[in-house]
Copies of this chain bind each other. A is one copy, B any other.
Amino acid sequence: MTKQGKNFKTSSIGNIQKLGRVTLNAELALTGSEISINELPAGVGVPFVHAHKRNEEVYIVVKGKGVFYVDGEEFAIEEGDVVRVDPTAARSIAASATSPIRYICIQTEAKSLVQHTQNDGVPVKAKTSWIK
Please give the residue numbers on chain A whose beta carbons come within 8 Å of chain B beta carbons, in ascending order: 1, 3, 5-14, 16, 23-25, 27-35, 37, 45, 47-56, 58, 60, 62, 67-77, 80-86, 88-92, 94, 104, 106-117, 120-126, 128-131
Contacts and interface: CB of A to CB of B under 8 A. Distances in A.
B60 A112 contact: no
18 contacts: A9-B83, A10-B75, A10-B81, A10-B83, A12-B80, A13-B81, A30-B113, A32-B109, A32-B110, A35-B106, A45-B130, A47-B131, A48-B123, A50-B122, A54-B120, A94-B129, A107-B113, A108-B108
Of the listed residues A5, A76, A124, the one surrounded by the most CB atoms of chain B closer than 10 A to its CB is A124
B84 A8 contact: yes
A96 B88 CA distance: 42
Contact of A116 (B25, B104, B111, B124): B25
